[in-house]
């Protein structure tokens, strides 16, 4: 279970050789997301692990290969997927949603809700504005900031693909004012594509969608139902958009994310590309 929704069923057996990115668990329940091997190695016997929230969950251990558990050029390919010549209009909405589902993408802003569900268009609840959340959730985080700088085009293209799948009419990228370099980098890529960039105050907790939406649009998400879609708004995270670009354009599953490790007690603070699991 690496998402909100139904847990997956193992698709591999103990001692089975696994390639990085290979499907290892899935579910037929609609609100779920498949899980892929985040390293090349060998599957171990099924076990139970304790999640950060204290819940116990079935798990598939993988013993990483002694060499080549992760390709040497993976970081470069992760940051620079081949999106340069991509026109999001060439992809059908259902094609985008299917690729997102197959890649196991979930919301990387913290909720871990299966993204293909969020991108399902609904004529009864059309998406008027789609916001890309470029505000970090916590003051010390810089993971999304670095992605906006180092994978700018992939972030913007992924956002366009998400918006096309959801049928959004207006696209806005919201970034806190203390990220001047990210604002400049995103504007250079977004402006020619007709995407707005909104600069928000650096004010905690701007990363929460219930705070971001009023700051950008002047709209308030009601308490019931407590979802932005009730007012015609959708929000997605920078890392999620980046993952969507990789999934749709290259068929890359979600196996890693950038994680900030920081604070006064950390000897080597930084942003680390980290495998799931």
pLDDT tens digits, one per residue of 198-221 = 999 999 999 998 999 999 999 999
Contact between 29 and 9 under an 8 Å Cβ cutoff? The reply is: no
Contact between 172 and 241 under an 8 Å Cβ cutoff? The reply is: no
The yes-or-no verdict on residue 82 having pLDDT over 80 is yes
C-alpha span between 178 and 86 (Å, rounded): 30
- pLDDT band for position 249 (cuts 50, 70, 90): very high
pLDDT tens digits, one per residue of 9-65 = 999 999 999 999 999 999 999 889 999 999 999 999 989 999 888 988 889 999 999
Q: For the CA atoms of 183, 263, 64, 28, what is the dihedral angle to 10 degrees?
A: -60
Number of Cβ atoms within 10 Å of the Cβ of 140: 12
Query: pTM of the prediction?
Result: 0.94
């Amino acid at each position: 279970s690496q998402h909100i929704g139904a847990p997956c069923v193992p698709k591999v057996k103990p001692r089975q050789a696994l390639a990085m990115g290979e499907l290892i668990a899935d579910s037929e329940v609609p609100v779920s997301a498949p899980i892929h091997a985040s390293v090349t190695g060998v599957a171990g016997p099924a076990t139970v692990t304790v999640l950060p929230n204290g819940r116990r969950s079935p798990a598939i251990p993988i013993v990483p290969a002694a060499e080549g558990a992760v390709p040497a050029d993976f970081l470069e390919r992760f940051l620079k997927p081949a999106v340069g010549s991509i026109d999001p209009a060439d992809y059908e909405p259902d094609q985008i949603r299917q690729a997102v589902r197959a890649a196991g993408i979930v919301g990387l802003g913290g909720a871990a809700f299966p993204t293909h569900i969020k991108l399902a268009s609904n004529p009864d609840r059309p998406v008027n504005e789609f916001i890309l959340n470029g505000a970090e959730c916590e003051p010390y985080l810089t993971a999304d900031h670095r992605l906006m700088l180092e994978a700018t085009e992939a972030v913007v293209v992924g956002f366009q693909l998400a918006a096309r799948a959801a049928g959004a009419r207006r696209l806005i990228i919201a970034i806190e004012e203390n990220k001047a370099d990210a604002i400049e980098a995103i504007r250079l890529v977004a402006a020619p594509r007709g995407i707005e960039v909104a600069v928000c105050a650096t004010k905690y907790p701007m990363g929460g969608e219930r705070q971001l939406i009023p700051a950008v649009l002047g709209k308030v998400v009601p308490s019931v139902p407590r979802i932005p879609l009730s007012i015609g708004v959708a929000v997605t995270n920078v890392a999620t958009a980046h993952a969507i670009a990789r999934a749709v354009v290259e068929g890359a599953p979600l196996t890693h994310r950038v994680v900030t490790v920081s604070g006064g007690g950390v000897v080597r603070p930084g942003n680390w590309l980290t495998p799931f699991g």
